[in-house]
Structure 1
Amino acid sequence: MKKEPPVDQRGRTGKDGNIGNENMKKKNRILWGSVLIIIGIITAAGMILIRRDASQENQKDAGWQAYWNDVKDDWTQISLLPGSDESKLNFAWYTPENTTDEESDPDMKALAEKMDPETADGKIPSLLIGEGKNMKKAKLYPAVQASAEGVKDSRGETYHYNYVTVSGLRENTVYYYSYDNGKGYTEPMEYRTKGFKEFSFIFAGDPQIGSPNEAKNTGSETYRKTQSEAVSRDAKGWNQTIQAAMKQTKNKASFIISAGDQIQTPQSQCPGRDVSYNEIEYTGFLSPPALRSLPAAVSVGNHDGDNTNFSYHFHMPNQSRLGRTAAAGDYYFTYGNGLFLMINAQNDDTEEHRKFIEETIRKNEDCRWRIAVLHQDIYGSALHSSEPEIISMREEMTPVLEKNKIDLVLSGHDHAYSRSKMLKGGKESDSGVKENQRVLYKNPKGILYLTGGSSSGSKYYGLAEDRQSYIAARWQENVPAYSILEAAEDTLTINTYRTDCGRKTDWEVVLEKE
């Protein structure tokens, strides 16, 4: 068999190189013509897809902006917090000093008047709740009301804040509620209870709504303009994370825990120390529509700690006089077999936190899972982790948490995700069983520390250059993220996801108790 002469890099062949080259040129022209046609088709299709994606994104932006413009000046948005246990639900909302009923839902107003004419007269706001859309077995709850001191909007309107605790809720039941916001009773909104034994919840790191505002300590007009723009962006990101998390749980999450720093501006940085300036940030935090049906347990962060209006917006269950700052004290709630200890780490009196934790556990010894939430991440992996304040808190709080057999600590502050090893005395106590991107800790003797990244995209911090010896995993790609925790009788399972695409950022982690 005759061997073919070798082909060089330019496509010429032996003696017949010129002929071969011409043939190759023809083939190349055909080939490159085809390639160019394909590239053109792909490019055109790509441009269509890009334009379509950009158009869809612009529509989303326009939709969000229209929604935000509608709610940004509404300080009467309601907040839902878990009640003291799973059968209760706490509500808080503002009403203006000068009330009307001009926007009242006629059916809700009629129902309230039928149930209690004196309560429904609008002098004291109230909340209606009943089962199903027809609100069977409806109850009317008069609010506990007090003056929202120091709060005044741009029109000069002053406000009251209102608290209601609803009790007797049944699991896996659809309720509708309506509240008097000072303009009348709202249209009824749905609230659906979940299972009371096995349940899931969302954990989110710092939303810090309004963080990009760089006009701190400037004139009020400049401050308000840049603040409004910053809040709009951050509230949109916060809304996207909540939507993504609810989709991931198939709308089965019982509540969400925020690691603290709900907003950017503490009272000390408001112009003239006027808390009215940060009200738009609370509006941004409360703006996601899902929060009308998803209770949010909020931790006090360093950007929240001196805000007197923090407690106006959030009706915290079982609030203690221990661990107090201007914002709130330590508080707790139970859900199923879980005890949730919300520690106000802005109060640096470790002894007060110790008393609160011990007293609370004595009242709830039957809770299988003990979960503490404190804003500062004492075992984090970003830049705050080496600060003297954090090191001191780590040294003081770790023995208290370990003595009281806390299973899991949820934190924020560093705006970067990290997961510690199973720790006791600051050292690894259990390496776990690792298989198929899953780590299982059976009867762990130690504490797992989880730090949430940014949940809104408002601010990110870089990871420390060297990974700390206590860290098992960490992640920072300047993308919002969230965690889903599932609590069963014997297991507590943790998964963490990116907001934008739903991809996991870490292995699944399971704590198991036999």
Structure 2
Amino acid sequence: MLHLKKSKKQIIALCLTAALSIGSFTAYAATEHWNDASTKPQVTTKTSLSDDTNWAQWKAGWDNLKTNYQQVALTPGADFSKLNFGWYSEKQSDSAIVRIADNKEMNNAKEFKGTCQPGAVINGVQYYSNKVTASGFKPNRTYYYQVLLNGQWQQAQQYKTGDPENFSFIFVGDPQIGSSYKQKNTESNGKKLGNDMAARNDSYNWNITLNKAMQQHPEIDFLVSPGDQISVTGDESPNALKEQEDQYSGYLSATVFRNLPQANAIGNHDCSTPAYKYHFNNPNTFSDESTPTPAGNGYYYTYGNALFIVINSNNFNAADHKALIEKAVKTYPDTKWRIVVMHQDIYGSGLDHSDSDGTILRTQLTPIFDANDIDVVLQGHDHSYARTYQLTSDGQPHDNFTEYTQGQNGDNHDKFDDLFDNNSVFRAYYKSQNLCYNIADKSQGTLVNPEGVFYLTANSATGSKFYNLIPQQQDYIAARNQNWRPSYSVINITADKFSVTTYDVETGAPIDETYTIIKK
């Protein structure tokens, strides 16, 4: 009989256990590699994309920036014609209001109203979560928007629409602002940075990444993240919530977000508190989840001829994800491209998760993706880059390990951690059951009407934390990379083509060949 140790963690939800359990795989950990902002060549001139890219100036302004909790986040609407807004305010109003115009003076602006509900309490101050959906946007136009914040109209910001028949988005992995907290440098006097200095460092690098990406690829229309926008997890104590909100301020401080919508998944570092759902106004939220996390739910939206389904994979109940995917497909049955975004990489190549907790849903999700004709799955979690061949389910019965994934208190997943770490028989059985796929097509470059699903795992976009690659490259991996530098992918979608190229932030050069799928 297998011995299961009793958990001593104070767990409020399953996702919190998922976040904490990562540390239980003690053989693996974040490496000594990280992106130290204090050692980089400093930019001394301002650009149109950055208000401040000088490290000394950034440090001087950090105390004000990190407490700027009332920044606006743009999110794609349910379809191309809509745009969602979310922001905090210190004052409550009957309605949150945004106005849209085709001129910077906001003449003849149209107002859109939404909700203003109690949100986070930060340092004893009650903030309110404001959410508005604006509509009527047309392709290839320039618009301006203003939000009403605490009774005052804020400065007008520009929003440009692209072409829904030929659009591009940036895919970034695990910004995880504050994740460098265990690192050391000269500015920390050889001690660990801690949460505040780490958030300052990682927020700066986040700005640099997005500024460079937009300079190198101005065609980008919106951003997709597979989760872990921030780093601090834990209970909802005032100190933990304050550190989380400081990190969200650093994350949202990226200047490009004034003009660039973002569609984020919930990561295991986001999911333990409601802050995520207070900040982001996601479309078509799937409130029917039976075991949701405190951060909220999955959601879906369309952009042109592509359907994006964002699942909250910190909820290990695959039945919820099946229901969400089927609802999205039923709502938009005629979209040509179907893309799933999720945090855990069920087909990745990182040392920390790709053969352990990252694959806990593989046997369940793989056939669901096949049954719903999913084309692409975008993943994070492993802080290393990998892309697969075209994969399908093998159609054979496999253990779903549901006894270790169901429930709200997380105790069952603790049992999984314990078994995987300490019982070699269970570990071998678990890995054998995860051989639940077929490699349907090993072609590279451009594929025409391929069978199967393509999986892409992103490395860290900030360099706040990097993981090693697994020593033995899995047979399903076509290419992988860990050069200890931040990267991002640019994905272009047209009526019949999906293509992705991944770039090194520092050099702007591709780290892998372009992968293209053509559907005729």
TM-score category (smaller protein): 0.7 to 0.9
Cα distance change, pair 54–405 in 1 and its aligned pair in 2 (3 A): closer
Cα distance change, pair 322–380 in 1 and its aligned pair in 2 (3 A): farther
Aligned-pair CA distance for 1:60: 2.1
**CA displacement 1:233-275 (0-9 Å, x = unmatched):** 111111111112212222x21110011001001243x656752
**Under a length normalisation based on structure 1, what TM-score does the superposition of the two structures give?**
0.78
Q: 2: distance between equivalents of 1:411 and 1:386? A: 11
Q: 1: distance between equivalents of 2:232 and 2:194? A: 13
The correspondence for 2:117, drawn from 96, 121, 146, is 146
Cα distance change, pair 134–320 in 1 and its aligned pair in 2 (3 A): same
Q: 2: distance between equivalents of 1:67 and 1:189? A: 22
Q: 1: distance between equivalents of 2:122 and 2:55? A: 30
Aligned-pair CA distance for 1:431: 2.1
Does structure 1 conserve the Cα–Cα contact (< 8 Å) formed by 2:499 and 2:517?
A: yes
Tell me which protein shows more helix as a share of its residues: 1
Cα distance change, pair 409–248 in 1 and its aligned pair in 2 (3 A): same
The correspondence for 2:78, drawn from 84, 97, 101, is 84
Q: Which residue of 2 aligns with 1:261?
A: 228
Q: Which residue of 1 aligns with 2:136?
A: 168
Equivalent positions of 1:356-505 (< 5 A) are 356-425=324-393, 426-432=437-443, 434=444, 439-505=445-511
Q: Which residue of 2 aligns with 1:130?
A: 101
Does structure 1 conserve the Cα–Cα contact (< 8 Å) formed by 2:98 and 2:134?
A: no
After the TM superposition, which segments of 4 or more aligned residues of structure 1 sit over 6 Å from their partners? none
Does the residue aligned with 1:243 lie in a helix, a strand or coil?
helix
Q: 2: distance between equivalents of 1:233 and 1:407? A: 36
Q: Which residue of 2 aligns with 1:96?
A: 90
Equivalent positions of 1:175-214 (< 5 A) are 175-182=143-150, 184-214=152-182
**CA displacement 1:181-223 (0-9 Å, x = unmatched):** 22622111111111122101010000001112249xxxxxxxx
Aligned-pair CA distance for 1:69: 4.2
Does structure 2 conserve the Cα–Cα contact (< 8 Å) formed by 1:271 and 1:277?
A: no
Q: 1: distance between equivalents of 2:208 and 2:60? A: 16
Is 1:310–2:276 an aligned residue pair? yes
Does the residue aligned with 2:360 lie in a helix, a strand or coil?
helix
Aligned-pair CA distance for 1:65: 3.0
The structure with the largest alpha-carbon Rg is 1
Aligned-pair CA distance for 1:471: 0.3
Q: Which amino acid aligns with 1:87?
A: S
Q: 1: distance between equivalents of 2:43 and 2:257? A: 28
**Under a length normalisation based on structure 2, what TM-score does the superposition of the two structures give?**
0.77
Does the residue aligned with 1:180 lie in a helix, a strand or coil?
strand
**CA displacement 1:397-437 (0-9 Å, x = unmatched):** 111111111100000000000001111222321122x4xxx
Q: 2: distance between equivalents of 1:59 and 1:195? A: 31
Does structure 2 conserve the Cα–Cα contact (< 8 Å) formed by 1:89 and 1:166?
A: yes
Q: 2: distance between equivalents of 1:328 and 1:59? A: 34
Aligned-pair CA distance for 1:53: 5.3
Structure of greater relative contact order (alpha carbons < 8 Å, 6+ residues apart): 2
Q: Which amino acid aligns with 1:283?
A: S
Moved more, 190-199 or 489-498: 190-199
Q: Which residue of 1 aligns with 2:54?
A: 60
Q: 2: distance between equivalents of 1:196 and 1:66? A: 41
Q: 1: distance between equivalents of 2:217 and 2:53? A: 26
Q: Which amino acid aligns with 1:373?
A: V
Moved more, 69-78 or 312-321: 69-78
Does the residue aligned with 1:143 lie in a helix, a strand or coil?
strand
Cα distance change, pair 59–308 in 1 and its aligned pair in 2 (3 A): closer
The number of residues matched between the two structures is: 424
Does the residue aligned with 1:497 lie in a helix, a strand or coil?
strand
Does the residue aligned with 2:195 lie in a helix, a strand or coil?
helix
Aligned-pair CA distance for 1:393: 1.1
Does the residue aligned with 2:136 lie in a helix, a strand or coil?
coil
Does the residue aligned with 1:239 lie in a helix, a strand or coil?
helix
Does structure 2 conserve the Cα–Cα contact (< 8 Å) formed by 1:125 and 1:182?
A: no
Structure 1 unaligned spans of 5+: 1-50, 100-121, 216-223
Does structure 2 conserve the Cα–Cα contact (< 8 Å) formed by 1:135 and 1:175?
A: no
**CA displacement 1:284-326 (0-9 Å, x = unmatched):** 1100010011001010111111211110000010001244211
Q: 1: distance between equivalents of 2:288 and 2:503? A: 35
Does the residue aligned with 2:170 lie in a helix, a strand or coil?
strand
Does structure 2 conserve the Cα–Cα contact (< 8 Å) formed by 1:322 and 1:330?
A: no
- Calculate percent identity across the aligned residue pairs: 36
Does structure 2 conserve the Cα–Cα contact (< 8 Å) formed by 1:210 and 1:458?
A: yes
Cα distance change, pair 85–495 in 1 and its aligned pair in 2 (3 A): same
Q: 1: distance between equivalents of 2:43 and 2:175? A: 27
